[in-house]
Chains A and B, each alone.
Chain A
């Protein structure tokens, strides 16, 4: 029997694309929930922030951790994007053929893919900017600092767009992952697929609502808070030198 050497690159790329997508999706689902702590109270969001800065481990905050974290996510983000762009239509002809196909077929899953491509494209820009900011000024996170950025640095509209994009991209992506690898498919694949699809749609709606509310809250704080003295939140319970 012949034992030729096989080219493993395609397998690795495909696998990496899925793994990075999965990590990013898990990250984002958590991210937006943490972000929404602002809906509970300023104090809650503050606690979440300093948690990530390592306060509960070291008794002190190190914004560098955020930088490191942001850098790591950025790498995954870039790797994922770099692998996934292979799937973009790579010339005008392909683009046109796909467009015609989608309009003709009116097929849900194909249309979902178009959403993924489009949102991926959008995130390529906005996501990069956001990540860059997070790496550059990791200490400027908190109920007031973030609100300031949202309102006075005009990030609000961008965030909203980013929110819509990332949520749909991530959950469509997760649904697609399940289909692609046959995750938990059960005996009747038609039924399990319908379930996954329903779950996907529900999650998208929930996350967009939660994210929008958080954004509204940041905007509200941004508009009502007086930033003339300090941009930083002062906790009444936890006293930190750095802040």
Chain B
């Protein structure tokens, strides 16, 4: 054990606003917290709530970087707060809710509704009307590598970081964003989904879909699950161009 240093005093600036309070306006509020070993923003925020201001609103569920609930802007960048160690940050830290999503209060946002609309719009489920499920029979086979590849894209946690990190969608909220495109790439890859390319084109072959993406790559750089978003959007773009050329 090395000699103990005096711990830093972190200055946590939080963008606060309660939309249910007619008198409230968005404002910054700063809290001072003594840093401890292995401290994450999850610990920081709970400490603030428990000892400084119990009305502070934020969302954590798994607190392990798994569920995608705790996305927020940390010093302007969208990320998962629960797995952000304060030791990797400056002592002045600003926290703000992700833009674009409906605000519930302070750092708490309603990503669930947004994602549900997206999923319903893109119909993110296996479309297979031909094969009736028979639970007693052996499962359908799948190449091991393909299963891995699908899982790779299935790892998205719907945290919304890529949405908050994308300038395009900020300007044009109708755009499906990287999260939506990634989902289509996932189903496109999946042999169990019987949708044709033309049907996929219907879903994303326009300015609100893959052609709306301006390759800003914010999504790729902020995705906490390191999904290959750039590569998959490029793949979809090629697929969709091919589809438009073939299909008469």
Contact = CB atoms under 8 A, between A and B. Distances in A.
B209 to A, nearest CB: 8
B40 to A, nearest CB: 22
Contacts of B217: 109-110, 179
B30 to A, nearest CB: 18
Nearest to A176: B215
Contacts of B196: 1
Contact of B211 (A14, A106, A107): A14
Interface stretch (A73-81, A95-103, A134-142, A198-206): A95-103
Q: Which of A1, A11, A86 has the largest count of B CB atoms less than 10 A from its CB?
A: A11
A87 B207 CA distance: 10
Interface stretch (B5-13, B83-91, B143-151, B226-234): B226-234
A243 interface: no
Nearest to B213: A180
B221 A107 contact: yes
Interface string B207-248: 101010111111001100000101100110110110111010
Contact of A6 (B202, B216, B228): B202
Nearest to A96: B171
A94 interface: yes
Main secondary structure of the interface of B (DSSP, over half): helix
B234 A181 contact: yes
B18 to A, nearest CB: 22
Contacts of B202: 4, 6
B127 to A, nearest CB: 11
Contacts of A3: 198
A129 to B, nearest CB: 28
A87 B168 CA distance: 9
A10 B206 contact: yes
B199 A2 contact: yes
Interface of B: 73, 76-77, 99, 165, 167, 170-172, 196, 198-199, 201-202, 205-207, 209, 211, 213-218, 221-222, 228, 230-231, 234-235, 237-238, 240-241, 243-245, 247
24 contacts: A1-B196, A6-B198, A6-B205, A6-B247, A10-B207, A10-B211, A11-B201, A12-B244, A13-B211, A97-B171, A98-B167, A101-B99, A104-B76, A105-B165, A107-B77, A107-B221, A109-B215, A109-B218, A113-B167, A179-B217, A179-B230, A181-B238, A182-B234, A185-B231
